[in-house]
Amino acid sequence: MRVEIFCDGACSGNPGVGGYGTILRYGDNEKELSGADGDTTNNRMELSGALAGLEALKRPCEVVITTDSQYLVKGMTEWVSGWLKRGWVNSKKEPVVNRDLWERLLQQSRVHRINWQWVRGHNGHPENERCDALARAAIESYRRSN
């Protein structure tokens, strides 16, 4: 089973109110997810968007995740192995920021076969633009309800 996940995060203030938008696609079927947090960062929302998609899957899948976050892609494809070797300490010998979310992503990467793809943000990629709109709508919804 091959699933596509598109995700984006946004933050109004950094830290501040943040949101994420995610699209899951399996064949002709699509599902949109979004969420928000009142005190977060853009990077946490980028990670949360990917997690929302992965954690919505009900069985192990081949997954292509498309994001405009180099932080997310490089974290999962380049940096995480070093963090694990160093006990969740980065190259500057400081604790890895957002470790809780990285650990959840790592757990999901053990369940699913994931291919991480980066696209330039705000560059006309239809799914990336939609995810951005979902993230911003989640921020506005959060503000209205709090």
pLDDT digits (tens, 9 = 90+) for 7-41: 999 999 999 999 999 999 999 999 999 999 999 99
CATH number, domain containing residue 141: 3.30.420.10
Would you list which residues are annotated within the binding site?
8, 46, 68, 132
Catalytic residue among 49, 68, 75, 112: 68
- What is the per-residue pLDDT for 1? 85
Using only the alpha carbons of the chain, give its radius of gyration: 15
pTM of this structure? 0.96
Q: Is 8 a catalytic residue?
A: yes
Low-confidence stretches of the chain (pLDDT beneath 70): none
- Domain of residue 122 covers 2-145
Q: Are strands 16-26 and 113-118 parallel, antiparallel or unpaired?
A: unpaired
Q: Is 112 a catalytic residue?
A: no
- What is the per-residue pLDDT for 49? 98
CA distance readout (Å), 56 to 5, 22, 43, 108: 11, 11, 20, 11
For residues 51 and 101, what is the distance between their CA atoms, to the nearest angstrom? 8
Would you list which residues are annotated within the binding site for Mg(2+)?
8, 46, 68, 132
